[in-house]
Amino acid sequence: MDGNGRTARFVMNSQLVTAGYPWVVIPVERREAYMAALEKASVKGEVEGFVGFIGILILQQQIPNLPENFLSLPPKTIGILN
């Protein structure tokens, strides 16, 4: 195994932290989804899925107990809006 992936994640996280976002850790159980989003971004140039994947991880780190299906729930249900 080479260090290219680790290096890329370190650079990504450095940029996120510089922009005021938290450091993102890709959970092992989400690795398959991460790799699929990364592959689509790399091969097809469609970065939206990858950006969305990272954005969801950031939200899940910031809001404890955020349900997996939170995007389909009304904002009041997950406590984002009062």
Residue 29: Cβ-neighbour burial (10 angstroms; 0-12, 13-18, 19+): exposed
Supply 17's token pair: 């932290």
52 or 69: whose pLDDT is higher? 52
Number of domains observed in the structure of the chain? 1
- 3/20 Cα distance (integer angstroms): 26
Average pLDDT, rounded, for the chain: 84
**Rounded CA separation 82/72 (Å):** 17
What is the Cα–Cα distance from 43 to 33, expressed in whole angstroms?
Answer: 15
Domain range for 57 is 4-78
Has this prediction a pTM greater than 0.95?
no
